């Protein structure tokens, strides 16, 4: 092993002539040689896939305690036989050393983390997952001897094929769905199909929202990928869900959704959009949000009303309808599921006159 120039005092704990065949054993030997140096370092590498023949790129990162100086670094990739370490570039001017086995750093190691990339040529005939390892020797200024870590993950698997995980929220589907296998560098197209009265709200590719679309194509796939489609309900002009208007039979070929939501087909005084908000039936005159009675007994008032069962309700009161500075004030909030008939006792009243109203809404 040759170390980079300028650090001749560096001394690794590996006995001279020790031949590394098993990374776990090597780590054990070094750990015994440097038991209490207390360095906090982390090495990691990422790579996705390869074609055969072709090239695989591996991104590497080595980080250490921020108040330390990195004196030396040596990165030894492990890879399938016949795979060839080609070149490297990044922080510290990494180069492939003369034995084509190790990456040495010929420049100043002033970055923390040290970030670099190396490339490996893959000969013909390889398919499927292949392991890559990274054995990292280093010395910080706080250490009398060098030490080592294995790059995480150990091993890193790269693959000639990749998977695209395709999934959909409720109210639609994506085609194809589930796990789709794609060759390295290949393509795959996905179509989004919302249920009736729904639309594509968001498409997330690798968990990043890229907006709304009816299809999406991956090209030059070099890593595992994900795609997820989220559907949302279509809303008429005033916010009433189209599926609800259709389910209530309020639309036909001549009535569009925005007209349907303003109609009051059961003549109960509530247009369809208000019946949606209060969860009452827009085709049933008796199903409507309405105050049934207001009864005063001494200083108490009992208010009774009817409505739906799956909307929020609040009972509000006000002393004066003319005075614009007077505000409606909520005295009771009814959280769904509610009873279809509710009453509330307003107690210890001193005002000679009070008005009440009931409000309903969906969340
Ligand atoms: Ca009704």
pLDDT one-digit tens code per residue, 205-241: 999 999 999 999 999 999 999 999 999 999 999 999 9
- Quick: pLDDT tens for 57-115: 999 999 999 999 999 999 999 999 999 999 999 999 999 999 999 999 999 999 999 99
Q: How far is the CA of 289 from the centre of ligand 1 (A)?
A: 8
pLDDT at 21 over 50: no
Per DSSP, the three-state class of 285 is coil
User: Which residue do the tokens 């194809």 mark?
Assistant: 176
What is the predicted pLDDT for the residue at 39? 64
What is the predicted pLDDT for the residue at 38? 54
* Token reading at 36: 């209490």
pLDDT at 33 over 90: no
Cα–Cα distance between 149 and 44 in angstroms, integer?
Answer: 10
> Does the reported pTM lie above 0.75?
no
Sort residue 185 into left (φ over 0), alpha (ψ -120 to 50) or beta. left
Q: How far is the CA of 309 from the centre of ligand 1 (A)?
A: 13
pLDDT at 7 over 60: no
Angle at 97 between CA 92 and CA 103, to 5 degrees: 45
Average pLDDT score over residue span 260-273: 95
Lowest mean pLDDT among 27-31, 138-142, 212-216, 342-346: 27-31
Q: How far is the CA of 285 from the centre of ligand 1 (A)?
A: 4
| 33: enclosing H helix or E strand | helix 23-33
What is the predicted pLDDT for the residue at 30? 34
The single-letter DSSP state of residue 312 is E
Cα–Cα distance between 353 and 326 in angstroms, integer?
Answer: 13
Q: How far is the CA of 268 from the centre of ligand 1 (A)?
A: 6
What is the predicted pLDDT for the residue at 28? 27
Furthest-apart CA atoms within the chain: distance in Å: 102
Q: How far is the CA of 260 from the centre of ligand 1 (A)?
A: 14
Average pLDDT score over residue span 244-258: 90
């Amino acid at each position: 092993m040759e170390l980079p120039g300028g650090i001749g005092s560096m001394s690794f704990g590996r006995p001279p002539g020790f031949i590394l065949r098993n990374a776990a054993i090597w780590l054990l030997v070094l750990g015994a040689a440097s038991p209490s140096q207390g360095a906090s370092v982390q090495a990691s590498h990422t790579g996705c896939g390869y074609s055969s023949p072709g090239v695989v790129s591996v991104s590497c990162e080595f980080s250490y305690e921020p108040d330390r100086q990195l004196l030396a670094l040596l990165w030894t990739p492990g890879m399938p036989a016949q795979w060839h370490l080609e070149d490297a570039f990044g922080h510290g001017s990494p180069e492939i050393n003369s034995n084509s086995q190790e990456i040495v750093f010929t420049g100043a190691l002033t970055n923390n983390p040290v970030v670099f990339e190396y490339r490996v040529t893959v000969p013909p005939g390889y398919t499927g997952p292949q392991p890559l390892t990274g054995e990292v020797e280093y010395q910080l200024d706080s250490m009398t001897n060098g030490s080592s870590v294995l790059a995480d993950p150990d091993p890193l698997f790269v693959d000639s094929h990749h998977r695209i995980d395709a999934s959909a929220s409720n109210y639609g589907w994506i085609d194809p769905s589930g796990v789709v296998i794609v060759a390295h560098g290949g393509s795959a197209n996905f179509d989004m199909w919302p249920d009736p009265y729904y639309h594509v709200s968001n498409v997330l590719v690798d968990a990043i929202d890229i907006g709304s679309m009816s299809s999406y194509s991956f090209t030059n796939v070099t890593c595992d990928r994900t795609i997820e489609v989220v559907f949302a309900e279509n809303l008429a002009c005033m916010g009433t869900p189209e599926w609800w208007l259709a389910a209530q039979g309020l639309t036909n070929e001549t009535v569009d959704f925005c007209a349907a939501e303003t109609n009051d087909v059961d003549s109960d005084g509530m247009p369809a959009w208000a019946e949606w908000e209060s969860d009452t039936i827009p085709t049933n005159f008796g199903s409507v949000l309405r105050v049934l009675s207001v009864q005063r007994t001494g200083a108490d008032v009992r208010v009774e009303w009817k409505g739906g069962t799956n909307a929020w309700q609040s009972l509000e009161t006000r002393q004066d309808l003319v005075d614009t500075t007077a505000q409606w004030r909520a005295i009771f909030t009814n959280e769904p599921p509610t009873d279809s008939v509710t009453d509330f006792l307003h107690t210890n009243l001193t005002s000679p006159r009070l008005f009440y109203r009931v409000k309903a809404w969906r969340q």
